[in-house]
Structure 1
Amino acid sequence: MTQVGEGRETEADEAGPVMTFGTPTVGEILAERYQLEEHVNDDSAGRQVWRGSDVILRRPVAVVLRRPGGDSATEMLQAAVDASRVIHPNLVGVYDAIDEGGRAYVVREWVDGVALREMVGTDGPMDAARATAIARALADALAAVHATGMVHGNVHPGTTLIGDDGRVVLADARADSADSTETDVRKVGGVLYYALTGRWPHQEAGRSALPDANRDAAGNLTTPRQMRAGVPAYLDDLTMDLLDQRVAAPEADALAAELARLDAADDYEDVGPLRFTESNAVEPVRSTRKIVLGVGALVVIAVVGLVFGIRAITNSGQASPTETTQANTAPAGAGTSGDSQQQKDGGPTDSPTPKNIPLTGDMVRIVDPPQGTRADTGEATNTVDGDGDTAWKTQRFKQSNFGNQKAGMGVLINLGTPRTIADLSVETSAPGVTMQIMWGPDDPGDNTEGDDQIVKTYKKLGDPVTTDGTQKVFTVFDDAQKYQYVLVFLTDLPEADDGRGGYRVDINKISVEGY
């Protein structure tokens, strides 16, 4: 199993080999707190990665050790300190960074899962939807990092971790002077290319031990669509544009929004041109499809100009109107364009029809405030996997209100980008569940402190509702407000229906409709 600490996929640190003697042993406790349990692997920089446990908080951790410490470990420790300032569901949490002089180590969140490098190496290239979801998670994470003025500097299939619960997290920030927000975004294109082809484009995304991409006789990169049947043309364009230095790279948040739009589309071929290219003045644009769209736009402009020219000539001999029209008004007796449309259609124009917003495992997580055991972590994915036989099965409590131990528990939904929500539906195994919908500006962290902040600061939408059936549709959302982080919060449970007493319920499905 690959874990955090994958390291930059180029060469080992200039300080040379590390951990050549005094190797840590199983059972050793570092800083009187972190017990080493299993040596997982050595990363490309020669550091050792261990699975361990925090004996105080009793949670699993990953420990990345380097020998020696001191000046030679400054980069690693500083990167860890910087990373600890950014809390995001798609970034590995950093807990501690310690320099003992003889050795240094960073303590981080343990992620049950494997690196994208291993997953693709074992199972082969991914389908378009999965590759898009992973790239979207990385772009979201980078947007959070870049918003603080920092750069990640180490986006790679080895630092892209896929949790067993479907969560995608980016690990091991190691930026140096050669890195920038642009290189971070370009490497998301490299990860997309690798997920779709199983190869890493060295020239475009950085040297690596992974096999280089295929190229033609002139050294030009072969597109994913040329290497594999079934890669949508739109995704092929997006990947190649991100790797093409002639095409201006978008900001990470713009890329995240574009990938979210693609991720939510029923058909990749119907999503239209890349939205973030509208502000790019860089030529040439590689995509044939985008060139065709550009030519089509010019034709439309030419036709419109010709029509107005003909009208101007035709009307030049007519008397000037006696009334003037101010901006955004119409002459007396004239209807607005909306009025004309209503008259043409025989009634008011239709509002857009809400569409299902696809949810994946990496877009949901369990919120379990203080006094909770966080034992349900990872089960949220069962509410959005489309399998009726799976569910988030709450634990059994002695009282319906969670035994007065906490305010409740819930599922946090991250839509990836602010969206207009029409309704949210929750399907349960039994009636009698009291639920509350809440929303906030961000996810402060998948940990006890973050869950506590969510419950204390998120705004409530409507009043708590006790269900009288097994499905409840919430329509408490404001059409003028956009939402990205929404919490379905359970505050009271029904009696267990399995004859074993207590209070519990299964949350079988959560779905969201919007625009």
Structure 2
Amino acid sequence: MTQVGEGHETAADEAGPVLTFGAPTAGEVLAERYQLEEHVNNDSAGRQVWRGIDVILRRPVAMVLRHPGGDSATEMLQAAVAASRVIHPNLAGVYDAIDEQQRAYVVREWVEGESLRDLVAAEGPLDPARAITIAHSVADALTAVHATGMIHGNVHPGSTLIADDGRVVLADARAHEADSTESDVRAVGGILYFALTGHWPHNEVGRSALPDANRDSSGNPAAPRQIRAGVPAYLDDLTMDLLDRRVAAPVSDALTSELGRLDAAAEDEEFEDVGPLRFVQGGSSSSGEQMRSAPKILVGVGALIVIAIIGLIFGIRAINKTSDTNAANSGTPTAASTGDSGGETAPPRDPDKLKLSGDMVRLVDPPPGDRKDADEAELTVDGDPNTGWSTQTFYNRPNFGNTKDGMGILINLGEPRSLSEVRVVTSAPGVTMDVRTGTEDPGNSSNGDKKLLQQFKSLSDEKPEKSGGTKWTYPGFEPNQKYQYVLVFLTELPPNEDGDGFKVSVNEIELYGY
């Protein structure tokens, strides 16, 4: 049965309780129109998902119910209203969004089938041709969403539904302020990776957690071709480039066009000879259907031209990857971005672990924080994994009781340095954190911390994800930029060990650079 509503966990809803007070029952009619038929499941945010019937139009519907309604359900309802304006065969249609204060619910299309999550769990990794078809449909849906100025924000194997008739449907838009069109596009890389390997390349925890990707010592996922045989090299490159923030992401219509070309080649049984990637950035109007109708001779000529232009670039890039496997973590630009050097260049050296001392770090605790833990900040860089800074226990919500934006550790290197990555060791998994940088420290005080959060910017445009383990690595520094102030900032905490409230300890923070 379709897992409608499944997807990644979100900060806005994940702490919301499963609906208990005034719990719905089979046969109940909501809004004098929608009759509840069967409780399907609870989605990853704790909301109930039901199969129902629109008693007026006599059609099946999916209903997602949240308790309570009111202000806490605003984001869910706003996302549903926005999604209802986009009509596309690969998007689940949204029919209604209702707030009754005690509870709120969204009514949308019922898709008879199963999610990509369940399909892979039952059948194992998919063949490359089928993976491309699914990713093409998702990218096409995103192109329609982005054309209206919207962001989907929840491209995930649980929200990618495979109907019994073969249609691929993207459901449950949940755009957060940290989401972007780029993060949507990069999530298609995650869909490809999951379909090809059965593993999810992004950190995820909780009841709905997917199997984590096989990772190297730095936390980077292994390429699909390293996990299973039969994945074409260009599909492997496409998947990994979409996941790599150092490689410029295409716009959604360019990705749709490229996946449409691959999809058409698979249908014509020319899948293995499709040739190299060829994104056309911005304003591309070609679609999968147009690619299918194009004469094959034009496709062949185009492929030869592309090979002549970028073959050398991809060759150099492949050599660089094999010559130094650590380049992926150091932030060193690829050959495609640096161009021809006119001669041999020395391979980039490994980053060094920077020496940090207690006087280089301090606690960041914005209002209304009491800064009682300030003296523990130095324990995060003392080299002892058994000591660290422990947050207080927050009882209401994992986002610091919904009283402040979060807390963190600020590192002052004394002078600008070229950096490669941050490594953080915590006492428990499930911490949501990111890395932010700025040009100055406004002051070691409550007001100074407030100004700091206004001035410091996250290094990533993507929404921070929960750590999948106790060791967290962030390699997103720009290779041609230097940094003096680095903030490791926590925005959500995991459940306390005794199950009472939310709390975590940051035991070690390490910086690597040159």
Deviations 1:410-455 (A, max 9, x none): xxxxxxxxxxxxxxxxxxxxxxxxxxxxxxxxxxxxxxxxxxxxxx
- Alignment partner of 1:276: what SS? coil
Give 3-state SS (helix, strand or coil) of 1:259's partner: helix
Residue 67 (structure 2) aligns with:
67
Residues 25-104 of structure 1 correspond to what in structure 2 (within 5 A)? 25-104=25-104
**In the alignment, structure 1 residue 276 sits paired with structure 2 residue 279:** yes
Q: Which of structures 1 and 2 has the bigger CA Rg?
A: 1
**TM-score where L is the length of structure 2:** 0.54
Distance 1:217 1:15 in 2: 32
Residues 168-207 of structure 1 mapped to structure 2, 5 A cutoff: 168-203=168-203
SS of residue in 2 equivalent to 1:202: coil
Question: Is the Cα–Cα contact under 8 Å of residues 34 and 52 in structure 2 kept in the other structure?
Answer: yes
Aligned to 1:97, the other structure's residue is in SS state: strand
CA distance in 1, matches of 2:6, 2:211: 17
CA distance in 1, matches of 2:175, 2:281: 30
What's 2:244 paired with?
244
Unaligned runs of 5+ in 1: 280-284, 303-515
1:267 to 259, 270, 279: 270
Residue aligning to 1:143: 143
Secondary structure at the residue paired with 2:279?
helix
What's the CA shift string for 1:57-87, capped at 9, x where partnerless? 0000001111111101101100000000000
Aligned equivalents of 1:182 and 1:120: distance in 2? 26
Number of matched pairs: 294
Q: Hey, what does 1:355 align to over in structure 2? A: none
Q: CA 1:53–1:171 in structure 2 vs 1: closer, same or farther (change >3 Å)?
A: same
How far apart are 1:35 and its partner, in Å?
0.5
Alpha-carbon separation, structure 2, partners of 1:171 and 1:14? 18
Distance 1:202 1:158, change over 3 A: same
Matched, 1:232 2:235: no
Determine whether 1:106 maps to 2:109. no
In structure 2, the residue matched to 1:350 is none
For the Cα contact (< 8 Å) 2:16–2:67, is it kept in 1? no
Shift of 1:18: 3.3
Runs of 4+ residues over 4 Å off in structure 1: 205-208, 285-292
Within 5 Å, which residues of 2 pair with 1:70-469?
70-203=70-203, 209-265=209-265, 266-276=269-279, 288=315
Q: For 1:32 and 1:24, how far apart are their aligned partners in 2?
A: 14
| Partner Cα distance (1:209, 1:81) in 2 | 28
Separation (CA, whole Å) in 2 of partners of 1:125 and 1:261:
22
Instruction: Report the Cα distance in structure 1 between the residues aligned to 2:27 and 2:316, rounded to whole angstroms.
Output: 59
Separation (CA, whole Å) in 2 of partners of 1:278 and 1:91: 24
DSSP-derived class of the 1:275 partner:
coil
Provide the aligned C-alpha RMSD in A: 3.0
Deviation, structure 1 residue 219:
2.6
* Kept after mapping to 1: 8 A contact 2:49/2:64: yes
Cα distance between partner residues in 2 of 1:22 and 1:186: 40
Identity among equivalent positions (%) equals: 74
| Structure 2 counterpart SS, 1:174 | coil
Change (3 A) 1:182 1:278: closer
Q: Render the CA deviation track for 1:252-286: whole Å, top value 9, x for unaligned.
A: 1100000010111133442222211789xxxxx99
Distance in 1, matches of 2:191 and 2:38, equals: 29
Q: Which runs of 5+ in 2 are unaligned?
A: 283-311, 320-333, 343-514
Q: For the Cα contact (< 8 Å) 1:15–1:72, is it kept in 2?
A: no
Measured in 1, the distance between the counterparts of 2:257 and 2:316 equals 21
Please state if 1:8 is matched with 2:8.
yes
SS in 2 for 1:36: strand
Matched-pair contact (CA < 8 Å) for 1:12–1:44: no
